[in-house]
Amino acid sequence: MADIDPSLFENVDEVEEERALAEAEAAYAAGRVISHEAMMEWLASWGGPDELPPPLTGA
């Protein structure tokens, strides 16, 4: 049986993961978020004649 290369996601950088999580939590706490509804409306518009600009964050 052939050896399978490890997945990109198998080697987790714990320090980077913690940093990214802290950054995301700070953005959320500061209101820098995009609602699910706004994101879905934008994505649904892709490729159409009335494609919307990317939604803006709350901050």
* Domain interval for residue 40: 34-59
Specify if 7 maps to a domain. no
Specify if 25 maps to a domain. no
Q: In 3D, which of 31, 37, 2, 13 has the Cα closest to residue 55?
A: 37
DSSP states along 14-35:
HHHHHHHHHHHHHHHHTT----
> Both tokens of residue 15?
């320090």
Specify if 59 maps to a domain. yes
**pTM to 2 decimals?**
0.58
25-53 residue pLDDT tens? 999 999 999 999 999 999 999 999 999 99
> Which pLDDT belongs to residue 4?
77
Specify if 11 maps to a domain. no
Per-residue pLDDT band for 7 (boundaries 50, 70, 90) equals confident
- Count of domains forming the chain: 1
Specify if 56 maps to a domain. yes
**Rounded to an integer, what distance in angstroms lies between the CA atom of residue 48 and that of residue 1?**
47
Does pLDDT of 16 surpass 60?
yes
Amino acid identity at 54: P
